[in-house]
Chain A
Amino acid sequence: MTLMSVEQLTKTYQSTNVVDELTFSLEPGKCVALLGPNGAGKTTTLRMLAGFIKPTKGEIVFNEERFSRDVRHYVGYLPQYPVFHNWMSGEEFLTYVGQLAYLTKHEAKAKAAELLDLVNLSDAKKQRISKYSGGMKQRLGIAQALIHDPKLIILDEPVSSLDPIGRREVLNLIRELKKDATILFSTHILNDAEEVSEEILLMHKGKMIKQGAISDVSETQGTTSIHLSFGDEPKFIEERLKEIDSVFNVNREEDGFIVTVHDINIARSQLLDLIQQEEWELTRFEIGKTSLEDIFMKAVTE
């Protein structure tokens, strides 16, 4: 079953195709990251999906028969720079948008309280929004997107403008939300996509250049390298590593060692055993795979 399918979606501004014939579909219960450099057309795409702007061409079908009303009933949307009525308190604002989405006042209040709790703003609920910090506003923005229990949550760059703590909070929140809803969020930070999403859509200059499950896109066949780093470098480590029979070669890198191995599964347990036994201060153990960054760079320069 597909929640939303998009066919040949195109938006043209002054004869340039900002979004160029996108075709993809969203499965329920998945978290999908829309990736792309700035100016790739991510925001325009999301705005079309949220029902703000009309596509020049193409179709957005929202679960065919089941949802025939205005798409905004089923979509929760967080713009890139959410702006609120700053004279309201967080609680008032949530109640207000809840009522706009056809909840009764009572329902809206109850839902607002629940969401304020979820996004950790209960303490600040009576405060005017003008006093909120950037991270608090972003969390309030997520809460307002959820107020009418949308089937699809669209978040436009939810973490880009946040400091590391705010970013962590929001990513955790997304992870929490994945349990009940489909999430589509855009970002230009590849790590964030890797961290919480199962699928990626990669856009560049309005076109879709890559899409699929994150594991399909990012894993390369026959991985044979492990990246190790240590806090305090143990003595004779290079020699000790080479003694392991599954290890083929050890290369010293700036921030540790790249260990080339024959069989990744055997090497993993042998290496971890050794490290445990010697109580080395391991800070990084990474089975080499192509990072999204590599895919991204490759796809963009192709």
Chain B
Amino acid sequence: MQWQTIFKKELTEHWRSFKWIWVPIVFIIFAIMDPLTMYYFPIIMDTVGNVPEGATMDFPTPSVAEAMIMSFSQLGLLGVLIAVVVSMGLVSKEVKSGVYELVLSKPVSFTNYITAKYVAILMLIAFSLAASLLVSWYYVNILFGTISFIQIVVSILFFIVYFMMILGIVMLFNSFLKSQGLVAFLSIITVVALNVVSSIYSHVITWSPTLISDYINVYFYSGQLETEIWFSSVAAVAITVISLIIATITLKNKAID
């Protein structure tokens, strides 16, 4: 019951700060930007002009898979950034402003506090991802060719698992830092580091969660789901759970000063 109270409060707060409106819109823009510009590139060049007479321009139209992957990789960069920005203050802002002291003077369980906030922001991000990728899928289907509905839904679900981990990491930094900026900075550094390490040793740590997007790309090309994507997902969930547990323990032991 307490969990639902905090969860509902979080949803209301996100709603009143218009996050439920701008985050999906921004995600949709990121997702459709690249496929649309690629498709209309020749027309855009024609209209904007300034192409010297006689210059032949030959732009290969991307394949269906390539077009869809563009959306995913845009969200994999900018989407991650936005996800970090909207969640960087979830706990740290409340601790810094002092609301935390009032809220925690009630018998609030730290586990409820962390997980309710986490699930609320996850819902927002998952919704934004699903909405933006489905819109992009709609355009890709019209402009480039067909991708099955099952395939896009499965890809979106795995992609959400990847974002689950990112939000988990942000919650972890939230629990012991007061500065939102620092939370964002360290979260992004961590994700980048994970990505770099995983791509260097991609043949060894094939279960790395950051490889989920690579496996999704393969899925679009081949139509076959790699087995490794399951291991990566399990790893992502494991990192999420561990992050949330550590975040809870950190808050519990922290003295307000």
Contacts and interface: CB of A to CB of B under 8 A. Distances in A.
The secondary structure that dominates the A interface is loop
Given A54-B255, A99-B5, A102-B2, A84 B102 contact: yes
Nearest to B4: A99
Contact of A79 (B1, B2, B16, B98): B98
Nearest to A51: B105
Contacts of B101: 52, 79, 83
Which size class do A's interface residues fall under? Answer: 20 to 34
Interface in B1-54: 1-2, 5-6, 9, 13, 16-17
A97 B102 contact: yes
A79 B98 CA distance: 9
Contact of A83 (B2, B5, B102): B102
Of listed A79, A84, A100, A144, residue having the most chain B CB within 10 A? A100
Interface residues on B, range: 20 to 34
Interface in A52-110: 52-54, 69-70, 72-73, 75-77, 79, 81-85, 87, 96-97, 99-102, 104
Contacts of B255: 52-54
Nearest to A53: B255
B6 A100 contact: yes
Contacts of A53: 255-256
A72 B98 contact: no
B60 interface: no
Interface string A214-243: 000000000000000000000000000000
Chain B facing A: main interface SS: helix
A111 to B, nearest CB: 13
A84 B107 contact: no
Nearest to A105: B5
Contacts of A69: 107
Nearest to A156: B101
Given A52-B101, A87-B17, A99 B2 contact: yes
A47 interface: yes
A207 interface: no
B104 A52 contact: yes
Contacts of B143: none
Contacts of B5: 96, 99-100
A50 interface: yes
Contacts of A102: 1-2, 107
A225 B98 CA distance: 49
Nearest to A99: B5
Interface string B214-231: 000000000000000000
Contact of B105 (A13, A72, A81, A87): A72
A52 B98 contact: no
17 contacts: A13-B257, A47-B256, A70-B107, A72-B106, A79-B101, A79-B105, A84-B99, A85-B13, A85-B99, A96-B5, A97-B102, A99-B1, A99-B2, A100-B107, A102-B1, A104-B1, A144-B102
